[in-house]
Amino acid sequence: MRNPGEQPVYLDHAATTPVDAAVAAAMMACLESPFGFANASSSHLVGRQSAAAIEHARRQVATLLNAEPHEIVFTSGATESNNLAIFGAAKQRAHRGRHVVTMTTEHKAVTECFEALEREGFAVTWLNPEDSGRLDLVRLESALRDDTQLVSIMHVNNETGIVQDVASIGAICRARGILYHCDAAQSAGKLAIDVRKLPVDLLSLTAHKFHGPQGIGALYVADRPGCRLAPLIHGGPQERRMRPGTQAVHQIVGFGMASELALARRDADVLQYRRLCERLWQGIRDLPDLRRNGAAEHTFPGILNVSAGGVDGESLMLALEPLCVASGAACNSQSGESSHVLRAMGCTDASAQSAIRFSFGRGTDKSEIDMAIERYRWAVKHLRSLAPSGIAAAMRA
Amino acid sequence: MKFAVQDPYSKKVRGYFVNPVHAGNLRKSYTLNVSAAADDRQGNTIQLEAGIDGDTLQELRFRALACPHLIAAAEHFCVRFEGRETKSLQEFDPWETVRELQIPPGKTGRILLLEDAIQSLRQKIGDHSHS
């Protein structure tokens, strides 16, 4: 537990990242400029200056993905992008067919869209991962039907860091004329994504996962025949009518700057995450009954997810203070359920309950990892020393 | 900027959680050593042990695989009842524990598990004194 005066150690970058100083400076400059307040849809000079700032940012975001600027639709974040992609595509293509496919391990921002489509009469196929967390491509192929219109499978899982083979998934979909949507909230700005090479039609991203501001994201919509979306809201021509409403200029400017920085630093960042992740895992892996959730060879190194037998997840979170990490325990989720991702990967409920996700960011250093190792080892031993005799004895074995 | 941050754990819960002096097993044999346990479908488990001489609960110990509130409640129980007569166990009031430890409404159900374990302990003590 946290001692008086101890500062929080933030290892929850998969939830959100601190805003880079250069991003904050760009946003402040925008807010303080003579055009930052202007409505970009206005045709007067100040409005046009605002519009120019947005188009500059659009190019920066497009460059991150090697997309064309007009393929970028600004939204409020990945949740909205996922909603727009899934409902927009399903409804636009409903006259052709009403079958859609996704995985049980997707983020709630995707699974709850598919549940809503089910309630509207769409047929949904839910694919389970292998124990490694990856999707069996043969299983995907056998799930596709003549009336399948959309497949939505994420790039990097937000809980485990598992990286799906999006190139192969996209190729399977494209060969059948099925739209492929990829939730890249955890990978955009961190892993190389080239939409000119990757057969993806719709891709969601959000600024705050890579040191940009919260409240701004984008949906990449490929400029291809058949790749059209029905808008979720109505009321104006902005964002090619797919996301009408006055654009938040300073947020978009911050997103653009975060994208530019991510492109420049991405490879160095990932190298650093790999070192930190390995250091942390090597520092705790000898604890008895420890499970690394997700096959290491398929995991994004910015995330390490581990379960420990014989401990309660909520107690583990408290014992880990002042570490700021995420838990798979029901008590720590707003849904009141343990992690659906880990259970789909074959974890028992007890194992999912005890799962802790460590995630690293640009500012994370070795000393923080060493503190995490020390704190995690102490917390697990402390809680196991309190556990009922049979459990405690098994953990000592 | 500073904002008021709500802590889901009271000072007492934090204190008992980090330093549960009654966690573990009885340190010696008494005229009567009794143990009882309770668990639930969520995987929470609690074990209680009582060392009794005459009518006195000389030593109380607990073990728990549980959330911080339940660990703290078990420690609070041991602190309150150790050294008292066995019949005092019937005075255990889960709501007193809830109030004392400031357990939030969503967590009060967990204290029922402790109540179950205490009930079982009372029953076993009663069985021994009648045999």
What is the ipTM metric for this complex? 0.94
> In the Cβ-directed half-sphere of A227, how many Cα atoms lie within 13 Å?
18
B65: closest chain A residue by CA: A387
Which of B9, B17, B45 minimises the CB distance to A388? B45
User: Can you tell me the distance from the alpha carbon of A52 to that of A256, in angstroms, rounded to the nearest whole number?
Assistant: 12
Please report the pLDDT score of residue A397 as a whole number: 44
Buried b (16+ CB within 10 A) or exposed e, A42-59: eeeebeebbbebbeebbb
Using a CB-CB cut-off of 8 Å, the residues of chain A touching B46 are 388
Is A182 an active-site residue? no
Tell me whether residues B63 and A392 touch, CB distance under 8 A: yes
A330: closest chain B residue by CA: B42
Please report the pLDDT score of residue A336 as a whole number: 54
Q: Is B68 on the interface with A (CB under 8 A)?
A: yes
Say if residues A173 and A202 touch (Cβ distance below 8 Å).
Answer: no
B13: closest chain A residue by CA: A318
Q: Which residue has the tokens 């889901």?
A: B8
Q: What does the pLDDT look like over B88-113, one tens digit per residue?
A: 999 999 999 999 999 998 888 889 99
What are the DSSP calls for A341-385, one per residue? HHHHTT--HHHHHT-EEEE--TT--HHHHHHHHHHHHHHHHHHHH
How far is the alpha carbon of A105 from chain B, nearest alpha carbon, in Å? 22
Q: Is B120 in a helix, a strand, or coil? A: helix
Please report the pLDDT score of residue B2 as a whole number: 78
How far is the alpha carbon of A56 from chain B, nearest alpha carbon, in Å? 32
A320: closest chain B residue by CA: B18
Please report the pLDDT score of residue A252 as a whole number: 98
Q: Is B67 on the interface with A (CB under 8 A)?
A: yes
In a mutagenesis test of the B interface, which of A311, A321, A331, A332 is the best target, namely the one with the most B β-carbons within 10 Å? A331
Say if residues A220 and A187 touch (Cβ distance below 8 Å).
Answer: no
Tell me whether residues A388 and B14 touch, CB distance under 8 A: no
Nearest by Cα to A210 from A193, A234, A232, A235: A193
Residue A135 corresponds to which tokens in the numbers above? 């999707």
Using a CB-CB cut-off of 8 Å, the residues of chain B touching A312 are 43-44, 65-67
Please report the pLDDT score of residue A348 as a whole number: 86
Q: Within chain A, where are the H helices?
A: 21-32, 45-65, 78-92, 108-119, 137-143, 166-175, 249-284, 313-319, 340-344, 349-353, 366-386, 389-396
User: Can you tell me the distance from the alpha carbon of A137 to that of A141, in angstroms, rounded to the nearest whole number?
Assistant: 6
Question: Which amino acid makes up residue A258?
Answer: A
User: What residues form DSSP beta bridges with B46?
Assistant: B38, B64
Question: Which amino acid makes up residue A147?
Answer: D
DSSP 3-state percent helix, strand, coil across chain A (nearest 5): 45, 15, 40
Predicted confidence (pLDDT) at residue B64 exceeds the cutoff of 50: yes
User: Can you tell me the distance from the alpha carbon of A38 to that of B80, in angstroms, rounded to the nearest whole number?
Assistant: 66
Residue A68, burial from CB neighbour count under 10 angstroms (0-12, 13-18, 19+): middle
**What pTM value is reported for the model?**
0.93
User: Can you tell me the distance from the alpha carbon of A162 to that of A193, in angstroms, rounded to the nearest whole number?
Assistant: 16
- Give the number of beta-carbon pairs within 8 Å between A and B: 54
Ordered mean pLDDT values, 10 residues apiece, chain A (397 residues): 77 97 97 88 92 97 98 98 98 96 97 98 97 95 98 97 98 97 98 97 98 98 94 92 94 98 97 97 97 93 96 94 86 65 88 94 95 97 89 55
Residue B65 corresponds to which tokens in the numbers above? 């695989």
Catalytically annotated residue among A113, A182, A277, A331: A331
Q: For chain B, what is the largest distance between any 2 Cα atoms, rounded to a whole number of angstroms?
A: 67
Please report the pLDDT score of residue A35 as a whole number: 83
Which of A315, A350, A388 minimises the CB distance to B68? A315
* Cα-trace Rg, chain B: 15
Main-chain phi, psi angles of A199, to 5 degrees: -80, 70
Distance of CA A111 to the CA centre of its chain: 13
User: Can you tell me the distance from the alpha carbon of A341 to that of A353, in angstroms, rounded to the nearest whole number?
Assistant: 12
Tell me whether residues B65 and A310 touch, CB distance under 8 A: yes
> In the Cβ-directed half-sphere of B119, how many Cα atoms lie within 13 Å?
9
Tell me whether residues B23 and A349 touch, CB distance under 8 A: no
B24: closest chain A residue by CA: A386
Handedness of CA A60, A64, A69, A71 (dihedral sign): negative
Question: Which amino acid makes up residue A68?
Answer: E
For the ranges A93-97, B7-11, B40-44, B84-88, which has the lowest average pLDDT? B40-44
How far is the alpha carbon of A107 from chain B, nearest alpha carbon, in Å? 24
Nearest by Cα to A150 from A187, A197, A184, A113: A113
Write out the H or E segment, with its range, that includes residue A307: strand A303-308
Using a CB-CB cut-off of 8 Å, the residues of chain B touching A349 are 43
